[in-house]
Structure 1
């Protein structure tokens, strides 16, 4: 419907434009994690994992105190006597064993998983270190091995620090929301089925093809069907992305989840369950999510390299010392290498950055749901914006007025607003709002009535004022205003104001472009990013918006099921694509994109399919995400070098490469270096807090470079 050939308003049923609630109000519920891809075997998600690591951390921290205090090796290093209490020598071994079994379990199961998948990483390194420390410590405690191999204190600290790192990381991700549950929520809870002369209330799941249902004004369609009686303006935005209500009458098809804004309908069901368009979108979301590649995390890769480095070094160390003829030292050195190789700092390098980055982002109105999306954002070279509600406000606005005869534009608008005051229609609200914004005095109206597809009628200051679309002009046999042809080419909605049968003027209504959109597009261009717009709207509307904003490419008239394939086409050109959208129809495309960004005022399902959520509807927030991605990536890299660098230096020293000149790294010095490395990593991550991630600041920073 290109020129919006109707202006149907709320009838005596009082049906208002329904939005299914405002998901923007529930954003906090959606700051969520899509699964813990890293760390092998403890991959998992949800609040239960956060609680599990929190509980494990506190339990093990409490147990660690006596383990460290009663560790004979720690007492020797620090220079104090182990308290002389009955059974003192068994306190560290027994409680250390509890820590190994209870606190070490997530790492040991993760290590087994990494062995099975043949992808050694951090979990295997941690698992190996704590197992070696555990076995060696028991050997030393029982007098089977050198007393220097009593590592109970090191084992305790290692488990506590690693549990803290994993708890911090888990907490930075929150419970995921199921995109599919959100899609299902679009359907009404019950449907009114016509059964002979009466109507019965049934669940949409109980409907069959051929059933007749009643859809009340403001109600949503329970299943795909065909209208057999009535005409209504259907809000299909959650399915098609089309910003304007679409007139549907007898014989037209309607889709499950769409809303009859103004009039009641009788619909014959043509598809139910898995055959509906909504179920098709659900399948697309599932497929796109399943096909999304999950890049290996930097820390896991570093830990993988470190694992082989430590293993080879330990083996070479043992062989070298054994050849020299010192088997005791060979065992001590090899085990020291494996224990020192376990990177405390590397365990915190990524989680700390992620935790601080997500907290900073939230203050700037950006909610990070998937840290992999945040990592990928720095490499994006094409941003695909959904038009309606993203680059535009998603609601009609009066953008031009042409008056005929003696009246000026303000007078025409005031009369139109008077006639529309009692209407609940989105176009009526836009006219009333335009009059209020201009500070006009709107006269009182009486005798309000509306006629679907024609318009509204009211008496204003003794004159019969009518506002409507082309059908109204046909009725009174009058020509449209001169600018109407140009307005129609731009895809605008055209309404005429008629007083006592004479055309007083015309109103141009369109989905208004957000003032921030131009800055967002300019800043993205400055970063060398291609800006693409995708919409279900007609080509004329899309091209007008594209030209106004200086957008590189425009995809218009795209059906919901084709949006994901457009993203895929861009990816096949070799582009890393970020998709920004807010409707259910965007969900498959959000899941298909390298990074899915949901505008916060959008629907639950768009939010659930995205990796990043913008709490505001400001498109400049995309720049905040890019800035954050680049800054946090820099910090991650720096932290990984700090974390791994400690190991690259300390492992050869622990192996005894400088033994010929009389220097071998003692365990105590290695432990101090390990702690210092952890402190450096923590302080470096804190520097992220200085970032200003408000949309204005991020955009200004890019434009001023």
Structure 2
């Protein structure tokens, strides 16, 4: 926020920018709303919320975690893959076994036979290092998986190939070409996997970014510009109109409508006067303040939320990968098959065949397709998702979405637009609704307040012409007034009615029960009508809720707003459960309570106050139009603000999991068939699987996996397709 003019304390001043549109459902100069409560005289707005209050620490389980360092790993695997691919070309091309398989001859030069052994060994030491160290780690953890399976295969291939190159073993065991391809393809798979797991850690940085870069500290008669980090408890700071509060504090001079939406989720600016507490990162939308600092650094509410996000991310545990589970079983399957092979062929008195068959089994047991099965699907799924406006930051969040049975929506900015709109006009006397709205809009035309813009916008939407106004004045406690032709028109809340000694219209009681913002319009001191304003529900929200119900999910809404506001929105959308008046630190606890009921929870939100809950949920989904911190805390980000996009995540998760299972069956199926054949199970009937046939099957399995993954590109993720009734 850019500070306004030093002496500009009116919310309608042209000298400072309007407050951010995000999450605004403003109390307009004393607007009467559902949570109206007694308040000391002079406090123009009424809010029943203390959304910025306590910030008790809470850490909990999260279904997804940050992956620090994955950006480096992506670059390392990418670079290593291309280097190894370049080395693999001569290894394969100059390998005599590969040449005999394809039927071409090699030059009769002394150095030719050594190209494959030398470069192949380099590939093993350099390109195979990630798998060798990973295999050792799996041995230490006693959890054999993909890394150990790859390490076993490339090590056996290296030793047997050197034995064949030195003529110590049969030429059938010349596996240099297989070693090179195995390393290159597995590096490709891991590069794709690391790319899909890469996640920025922007959440905590974005929280810090809410604080202003500078603070204006009162030092005697002077005002000094200092860093917020230099503030101490007891300092007095000046907060200009439109500027952020640099530290938690207490107002000692002035009153302002505070936009706390970024921290508390409260959808309307809340009036704060002398003695009221204010929170670091919140914005004084209309007037200047002097604030005495009561907390700095780690003691602020913003720091408390930051710690909640950090704890939830750090305490989360990663689910075991499906491919690793399959690889663990295949490891024992390969090892057992090799042992049985060696024993049987040795007992048959054929030790040479025992060595050849055993080594062949161990090498062939590591299918190229298994290393690509999951990464290829995830890579294509994330690319397909991006084209549909869904950014997948955490692969496990995408995998987990298919199991979700409760979707928890934040209200403001997610199910609603997060900005006020005129939803009703009640005329009085001989006036028509259009006349009332046109006069109110003309009076508000010079105001920069969010509610003023909503009124002007409603008049323009109805095609009403705005008369020119003069003598415009505004009062944060009462409202605005302007002379239109010969009529003095005023628009405001309860204090305006009190000053003129007039009563509100009867319809105001009903609107108040529905949680609406109520403004009355006066002409020459007489009430000529009332305006009902509310945070507009997105037209797509009902379709999203209905489609989620059809998919078997419970739909829950959580908000920092008052009970009446939440109840009205929930009733219109058909939402199952509502949590209203929830403070930021309690949102994560609400998610945890649903999880304790046995629910798999997806949280959809867009504010800083949603960040801990997004991190706590099994799947955190951030609306892309929301704040950077919410985006940083989520595993999935929706580029649009359309809540129907949540259905895209569901559809993509289910389709991705289905493709993963199919690919694993193809990849593992190759092993289940080829390993026994390579071991010689059909030798009694005269058939032993040649390496050439094994290589063809290996390639065919990889091609099938790749083609099957490509079918994900045909998935229709458009909101219209996902919400249309099924025949």
Tell me the equivalent position of 2:407.
383
User: In the alignment, does 2:333 pair up with 1:332?
Assistant: no
**Which of 610, 618, 633 is matched with 2:634 structurally?**
610
**Which of 518, 530, 540 is matched with 2:542 structurally?**
518
Deviation at 1:165, TM superposition (A): 1.6
Aligned mates of 2:183, 2:597 — CA distance in 1: 47
Tell me the equivalent position of 1:358.
382
Aligned mates of 1:592, 1:337 — CA distance in 2: 45
Deviation at 1:46, TM superposition (A): 3.7
Question: In the TM superposition, what whole-angstrom CA distance separates every residue of 1:265-304 from its partner, at most 9, and x where no partner exists?
Answer: 1000000111111111111111111222311111111111
Alignment of 1:430-449 (within 5 A): 430-449=454-473
Aligned mates of 1:632, 1:573 — CA distance in 2: 27
Give the unaligned 5+ runs of structure 1. Answer: 1-7, 23-32, 37-43
User: In the alignment, does 2:704 pair up with 1:704?
Assistant: no
Tell me the equivalent position of 1:19.
20
Does the CA contact (< 8 Å) of 2:21 and 2:418 recur in 1? no
**Bigger relative CO (Cα 8 Å, ≥ 6 apart):** 2
Tell me the equivalent position of 2:203.
179
Deviation at 1:179, TM superposition (A): 1.1
Tell me the equivalent position of 1:400.
424
User: In the alignment, does 2:576 pair up with 1:552?
Assistant: yes
Give the 4+ runs in structure 1 shifted more than 6 A.
none
Deviation at 1:13, TM superposition (A): 6.6
Question: In the TM superposition, what whole-angstrom CA distance separates every residue of 1:621-641 from its partner, at most 9, and x where no partner exists?
Answer: 111110111111111110000
Question: In the TM superposition, what whole-angstrom CA distance separates every residue of 1:455-504 from its partner, at most 9, and x where no partner exists?
Answer: 01111122111111101001101000120011111111100111111111
Aligned mates of 1:171, 1:292 — CA distance in 2: 20
Does the CA contact (< 8 Å) of 1:10 and 1:16 recur in 2? no
User: In the alignment, does 2:234 pair up with 1:210?
Assistant: yes
Aligned mates of 1:618, 1:45 — CA distance in 2: 32
User: In the alignment, does 2:173 pair up with 1:135?
Assistant: no
Question: In the TM superposition, what whole-angstrom CA distance separates every residue of 1:655-696 from its partner, at most 9, and x where no partner exists?
Answer: 111111111111111110010001111111111111111222
Tell me the equivalent position of 1:416.
440
Alignment of 1:185-204 (within 5 A): 185-204=209-228
Alignment of 1:273-284 (within 5 A): 273-284=297-308
TM-score, normalising length: structure 2:
0.91
Q: Which stretch of structure 1 is more off in the superposition, 590-599 or 66-75? A: 66-75
Aligned mates of 1:147, 1:9 — CA distance in 2: 89
1:494 aligned counterpart, secondary structure: strand
Alignment of 1:665-680 (within 5 A): 665-680=689-704
Deviation at 1:20, TM superposition (A): 9.9
Alignment of 1:129-278 (within 5 A): 129-278=153-302
Tell me the equivalent position of 1:28.
none
Aligned mates of 1:561, 1:35 — CA distance in 2: 20
Aligned mates of 1:116, 1:429 — CA distance in 2: 65
Aligned mates of 1:376, 1:21 — CA distance in 2: 29
Does the CA contact (< 8 Å) of 1:358 and 1:368 recur in 2? yes
Aligned mates of 2:360, 2:687 — CA distance in 1: 15
Tell me the equivalent position of 2:620.
596
Tell me the equivalent position of 1:539.
563
Tell me the equivalent position of 1:25.
none
Aligned mates of 2:557, 2:278 — CA distance in 1: 26
**Which of 531, 535, 550 is matched with 1:507 structurally?**
531
2:520 aligned counterpart, secondary structure: strand
Tell me the equivalent position of 1:5.
none
**Which of 470, 480, 486 is matched with 1:456 structurally?**
480
Deviation at 1:330, TM superposition (A): 1.1
Does the CA contact (< 8 Å) of 2:65 and 2:317 recur in 1? no
Aligned mates of 2:439, 2:283 — CA distance in 1: 30
Aligned mates of 2:430, 2:198 — CA distance in 1: 62
Number of equivalenced pairs:
679
Aligned mates of 1:561, 1:116 — CA distance in 2: 40
Aligned mates of 1:224, 1:186 — CA distance in 2: 13
User: In the alignment, does 2:90 pair up with 1:66?
Assistant: yes
Deviation at 1:9, TM superposition (A): 6.1
Alignment of 1:625-664 (within 5 A): 625-664=649-688
In structure 2, the CA distance between the partners of 1:173 and 1:319, relative to structure 1 (3 Å rule), is same
Aligned mates of 2:162, 2:617 — CA distance in 1: 52
1:131 aligned counterpart, secondary structure: helix
Does the CA contact (< 8 Å) of 2:12 and 2:446 recur in 1? no
Deviation at 1:174, TM superposition (A): 4.1
Aligned mates of 2:665, 2:393 — CA distance in 1: 26
Question: In the TM superposition, what whole-angstrom CA distance separates every residue of 1:325-380 from its partner, at most 9, and x where no partner exists?
Answer: 21221111111111111111111111111111111111111111111011111111
1:325 aligned counterpart, secondary structure: coil
Aligned mates of 1:394, 1:231 — CA distance in 2: 24
Deviation at 1:172, TM superposition (A): 3.5
Alignment of 1:277-316 (within 5 A): 277-316=301-340
Deviation at 1:76, TM superposition (A): 2.5
Does the CA contact (< 8 Å) of 1:173 and 1:369 recur in 2? yes
Aligned mates of 1:158, 1:237 — CA distance in 2: 54
Does the CA contact (< 8 Å) of 2:197 and 2:393 recur in 1? yes
Aligned mates of 1:608, 1:34 — CA distance in 2: 11
1:210 aligned counterpart, secondary structure: coil
Deviation at 1:54, TM superposition (A): 1.9
Does the CA contact (< 8 Å) of 2:22 and 2:418 recur in 1? no
User: In the alignment, does 2:489 pair up with 1:488?
Assistant: no
Does the CA contact (< 8 Å) of 1:380 and 1:575 recur in 2? yes
Tell me the equivalent position of 1:113.
137
Deviation at 1:21, TM superposition (A): 9.5
Aligned mates of 2:322, 2:723 — CA distance in 1: 28
Tell me the equivalent position of 1:369.
393
Deviation at 1:53, TM superposition (A): 1.8
Aligned mates of 1:185, 1:480 — CA distance in 2: 43
Deviation at 1:81, TM superposition (A): 2.7
Aligned mates of 1:486, 1:367 — CA distance in 2: 42
Aligned mates of 1:113, 1:35 — CA distance in 2: 21
TM-score, normalising length: structure 1:
0.94
1:467 aligned counterpart, secondary structure: strand
Alignment of 1:572-591 (within 5 A): 572-591=596-615
Aligned mates of 1:302, 1:100 — CA distance in 2: 24
Q: Which stretch of structure 1 is more off in the superposition, 58-67 or 149-158? A: 58-67
Aligned mates of 1:421, 1:298 — CA distance in 2: 60
Aligned mates of 1:387, 1:81 — CA distance in 2: 71
Deviation at 1:66, TM superposition (A): 1.2
Give the unaligned 5+ runs of structure 2. Answer: 1-8, 24-63
1:479 aligned counterpart, secondary structure: coil
Aligned mates of 1:601, 1:439 — CA distance in 2: 29
2:540 aligned counterpart, secondary structure: helix
Aligned mates of 1:227, 1:63 — CA distance in 2: 69
**Which of 550, 553, 563 is matched with 2:587 structurally?**
563
Does the CA contact (< 8 Å) of 2:305 and 2:609 recur in 1? yes
Aligned mates of 1:432, 1:675 — CA distance in 2: 66
Q: Cα RMSD (Å) of the superposition? A: 1.6
Aligned mates of 2:442, 2:362 — CA distance in 1: 81
